Amino acid sequence: PVAERVQFTGLLAYTSADHAVPALEALLAPSTPEEVQVAAVQALAKHRDDRVGAILASPSRWPGYTAPVRSAAMAALHSTADR
């Protein structure tokens, strides 16, 4: 169920970036349910990793975001000065 996927996705915010960031990036695929994509963006935002900004703002990915995913990505991109 989507609700369980959202919960498990959120847990990736608390694992190492080396493991979490690639897994969270994969969840940003257009085929992933929107709620899971939003959870992935929110989990990515909690990682202080140089890759996060580039992943969220990727020109190839941005057009595929739905409005809620784009909103979450904008919030994540503005959450720290280094993004």
In this predicted structure, the answer to whether residue 15 has a pLDDT above a threshold of 80 is yes
Residue 83 has pLDDT above 60, yes or no: no
Residues in Cβ contact with 46 at an 8 Å cutoff, skipping those fewer than 6 apart: 13, 14
Give tens-digit pLDDT for 37-57. Answer: 999 999 999 999 999 999 999
Could you tell me the pLDDT band of residue 79, with boundaries at 50, 70 and 90? confident
Give the mean model confidence (pLDDT) for residues 52-80: 95
Average pLDDT, the chain: 95
The per-residue DSSP string of 8-54 comes to HHHHGGGS-HHHHHHHHHHTTSTTS-HHHHHHHHHHHHT---THHHH
The rounded percent of the chain whose pLDDT value lies above 90 is 94
Share of the chain above pLDDT 70, in %: 96
> Is residue 10 packed enough to be buried (19+ CB in 10 Å), middle (13-18) or exposed (0-12)?
middle
Q: What pLDDT is stored for residue 80 in this prediction?
A: 75
